[in-house]
Amino acid sequence: MAELLALEDVTAGYDASIVIDRLSLTIEAGESLALLGRNGVGKSTLLATLMGLTRLHSGSIRLAGADVTRRPPHRRATAGLGWVPQERFMWPSLTVEEHLTSVARPGKWTLREIYRIFPRLHERRDNMGNQLSGGEQQMLAIGRALMINPSLLLLDEPMEGLAPIIVQELMNVIEDLVAESGMAVIVVEQHARLALQLTKRAIVLDRGRIVHASPSEALLADPDRLHRLVAVA
């Protein structure tokens, strides 16, 4: 597979603070990666850095061979980065359907396809974003990111705070995305076992650096190591 994303010695954070420290990472086209670690080690900051939302102190970021290190967030999105932020960021003045169509770009993911994988969004298409339940907002956040037809989807804590039945529904959708879409996916998830079940490869961060890398299946099969790497001390 061809290289899709490459970070080289990236150091980034907020203002003068360093959260990501000289991190290098490559993602191939169609690859799925679980990004794990304890709270506060830099997982969400790494995704925000990919989107151009942090202060980059040094290093470079390439997407599909193009240097996007200094590109603003909207140009990274049009270059192929789809981001589902932890906060979801619903727009209270837009309906469900307007959330989806306002960012649409040509490709496989159309309004019809989003409604196929999330029938509930079709039922609520005329509701405002802030009138949805937490699970429906998460579906909409994922659908909105897919509508830009990204080559790489960034999922930041997609299961956080959701009812078990909604978690299972989202798990099924993400599994299908990983298996069938040809799109690369990075999953940040505090429930490490869920992320490992969804992905083929895993890395663990600590203090902004990669301290472990392995196939997801191998880490899932080694609960003692997984506990040492991600459990709160």
Query: Is the dihedral angle over the CA atoms 81, 84, 87, 92 positive or is it negative?
Result: positive
pLDDT score, position 232: 60
pLDDT(166) > 60 = yes
User: Whole-prediction pTM value?
Assistant: 0.95
Average pLDDT over residues 79-107: 94
pLDDT tens track for 95-129: 999 999 999 999 999 999 999 999 999 999 999 99
| Average of per-residue pLDDT values in the chain | 94
Residue whose tokens read 């600590």: 206
pLDDT(52) > 70 = yes
Average pLDDT over residues 28-51: 96
DSSP H or E segment with residue 203: strand 201-206
- Residue 87's Cβ-side half-sphere holds a number of Cα atoms within 13 Å equal to 5
pLDDT score, position 116: 96
Going by pLDDT thresholds of 50, 70 and 90, the confidence category of residue 1 is low
pLDDT score, position 231: 83
**Inter-helix orientation angle 164-180/134-146, to 10°:** 10
pLDDT tens track for 138-162: 999 999 999 999 999 999 999 998 9
| % of the chain residues with pLDDT over 70 | 99
pLDDT score, position 2: 87
Average pLDDT over residues 201-225: 96
pLDDT(233) > 80 = no
104: tokens are: 């649409």
